[in-house]
Amino acid sequence: MTNLDSILKEASSIVISNFNFDIEKSKLKTYSPKNWEKFCDINNFDANSFGIYIPESYLAYVRLDSSFLISNIFHELYGHGLFVEHSQIGKELTKIIQNNGDDNNFMFNEINLEKQNFGITKHNIHNYEGFAIWLENLLCEETGNKSIFKNKKKYIHNDYLELLDFFKQAEKNLTRFGLISQMGFPKYYDDNKIIEIVKKFYGSNINQVDFVLLRGSQKPESDIDLFVVSDNYSHNFLNGWLDIYEVNRIDFENWSKNLDISITDAMFSGKLIYGDQNYFEQNKQKILNQPITNEVIKYNISEIERLKKYETTKKNEEFSVKKYIDSFSKNLEQLILGNKPLTLSNLQQLYKK
Ligand SMILES: [Zn+2]
């Protein structure tokens, strides 16, 4: 048993150093072959399976005599346990089960992408199993038990091995942190993790990016908020965890000159994580030096009109145009008074009741 304990300790420390969270509620239950068969018989589980995880009770069951015991524990306890405890998808699943909802529907029906941004497959059962086998493989590798997983592979159904490859490829494309974020896990990061993602995201086009600012609260459950100035056309990108406001270089210069609050807020509340510090500082200085001309006032009036028109044509609740109109209107009001609020938090201070 001490041997198992040390394996669990090692797995937990690897998980923590990679992701900054660990299993908290999930527990391991081990069975002798005889009791395993009894247990499976009573619960109508397949006795030939390597193990099973029960989300309702946060329990991971494995049979002790398996030659792949360590691998099985990584799969059931860590793969499924972490997913159920910490990912948005897993939490949704337990909520449904606790409220006697249709968890089969949630797991096996095709995902409605308007309701669920997280995951990388079309069905939650594949998100659930794919993550577990991916983490099982990772923990086997990082604890020096690669050969156990390699031997077990001969007994794993091909569909699952394909799922593993799919997850490994996603890790390559998104970075490990990106994959975890895409699966709806809490996001603990430093600047380097974000720079890595930005580089993956832009690929060889990264040289078209002038600079990247990291914004927002940076809470583990919140979107990662980026402001990018580049050679590309101006647009918004949002995938459920990554929110990029990308502005074309020429637009950036125009909008800065006009003291557009969406630009000045990013410039004065964001943190430079990629790009030329001098260029960034020069542009901040330009904004500070910019006088509040008639042009500036006119621009902001027409921006508000444009947003109001947009609001009536688009009934998209996700994108709250109202909030933008409110910020632009208050900013305009201050500009007319001769003030430059620059950031949303300054605006908030000014309009605090
Ligand atoms: Zn599984």
Q: Do both 245 and 123 map to the same domain?
A: no
Q: Do both 74 and 212 map to the same domain?
A: no
Digit-coded pLDDT (tens) for 74-103: 999 999 999 999 999 999 999 999 999 999
Could you tell me the distance, in angstroms and rounded to a whole number, from the CA of residue 79 to the centre of ligand 1? 8
Comparing 240 with 154, the larger pLDDT belongs to 154
- Reply yes or no on whether the pLDDT at 318 is more than 90: no
The type of residue at 279 is: Y
What does the radius of gyration of the chain's CA atoms come to, in whole angstroms? 25
- Reply yes or no on whether the pLDDT at 316 is more than 70: no
| pLDDT attached to residue 317 | 55
Do 85 and 23 meet the contact criterion of CB atoms below 8 Å apart? yes
| pLDDT attached to residue 321 | 86
Polymer length in residues for the chain: 353
Q: CA 294 → CA 164, 254, 257, 307, 335, distances in Å?
A: 60, 14, 12, 20, 10
Could you tell me the distance, in angstroms and rounded to a whole number, from the CA of residue 175 to the centre of ligand 1? 23
- Specify the range with the lowest mean pLDDT, choosing from 86-100, 146-160, 216-230, 300-314: 300-314
| pLDDT attached to residue 311 | 80
Order across the sheet with 235-238: list the strands.
Answer: 235-238, 242-248, 224-230, 209-215, 271-275
Work out the number of other CB atoms within 10 angstroms of the CB of residue 275.
16
Q: Considering the entire predicted model, what is its pTM?
A: 0.90
Q: Do both 144 and 278 map to the same domain?
A: no
Alpha helix segments (H runs only) across 175-276: 176-182, 191-202, 249-257, 261-269
Q: Do both 260 and 231 map to the same domain?
A: yes
CATH number of the domain enclosing 295? 3.30.460.10
| pLDDT attached to residue 63 | 94
The type of residue at 176 is: R
Looking at residues 274-294, what average pLDDT do you find? 97
| pLDDT attached to residue 249 | 96
Total domain count for the chain?
Answer: 2
Q: Do both 201 and 288 map to the same domain?
A: yes
Q: Do both 200 and 170 map to the same domain?
A: no
Domain boundary among 150, 182, 214: 182
Could you tell me the distance, in angstroms and rounded to a whole number, from the CA of residue 201 to the centre of ligand 1? 30
SS3 of the chain: helix, strand, coil, percent, to 5: 60, 15, 30
Comparing 324 with 318, the larger pLDDT belongs to 324
pLDDT band per the 50, 70, 90 thresholds, residue 238: confident
User: Tokens at residue 54, please?
Assistant: 């029960």
Could you tell me the distance, in angstroms and rounded to a whole number, from the CA of residue 332 to the centre of ligand 1? 56
Average of per-residue pLDDT values in the chain: 94
**How far is the first Cα of the chain from the last one, in angstroms, to the nearest whole number?**
62
Q: Do both 13 and 149 map to the same domain?
A: yes
Do 47 and 54 meet the contact criterion of CB atoms below 8 Å apart? no
Looking at residues 186-193, what average pLDDT do you find? 95
Longest dimension (CA), the chain: 85
| pLDDT attached to residue 121 | 97
Domain boundary among 118, 150, 182: 182
Domain boundary among 182, 216, 246: 182
Could you tell me the distance, in angstroms and rounded to a whole number, from the CA of residue 64 to the centre of ligand 1? 17
Dist CA 319 CA 300 (whole Å) = 20
Could you tell me the distance, in angstroms and rounded to a whole number, from the CA of residue 130 to the centre of ligand 1? 8
Could you tell me the distance, in angstroms and rounded to a whole number, from the CA of residue 160 to the centre of ligand 1? 9
Range of the domain at 163: 2-182
- Reply yes or no on whether the pLDDT at 3 is more than 90: no
Q: Do both 175 and 196 map to the same domain?
A: no
β-pair type (209-215, 224-230): antiparallel
**Strand ranges in the chain using DSSP code E only, listed in sequence order:** 27-31, 51-54, 59-63, 209-215, 224-230, 235-238, 242-248, 271-275
Could you tell me the distance, in angstroms and rounded to a whole number, from the CA of residue 135 to the centre of ligand 1? 11
CA 325 to chain centre: 28
Could you tell me the distance, in angstroms and rounded to a whole number, from the CA of residue 16 to the centre of ligand 1? 21
Dist CA 236 CA 229 (whole Å) = 12
pLDDT band per the 50, 70, 90 thresholds, residue 243: very high
β-pair type (27-31, 59-63): parallel
Dist CA 185 CA 21 (whole Å) = 9
Q: Do both 146 and 209 map to the same domain?
A: no
Could you tell me the distance, in angstroms and rounded to a whole number, from the CA of residue 75 to the centre of ligand 1? 6
pLDDT band per the 50, 70, 90 thresholds, residue 114: confident
Q: Do both 274 and 232 map to the same domain?
A: yes
β-pair type (235-238, 242-248): antiparallel
Q: Do both 120 and 205 map to the same domain?
A: no
Do 58 and 25 meet the contact criterion of CB atoms below 8 Å apart? yes
Looking at residues 20-28, what average pLDDT do you find? 97
Could you tell me the distance, in angstroms and rounded to a whole number, from the CA of residue 23 to the centre of ligand 1? 16
Long-range CB contacts (within 8 A, 24+) of 140-145: 140/70, 140/71, 140/74, 142/14, 143/7, 143/10, 143/11, 143/14, 143/70, 145/70, 145/71
Q: Do both 22 and 169 map to the same domain?
A: yes
Residues with Cβ within 8 Å of 273's Cβ and at least 6 positions away in sequence, in order, are: 191, 194, 195, 198, 212, 213, 214
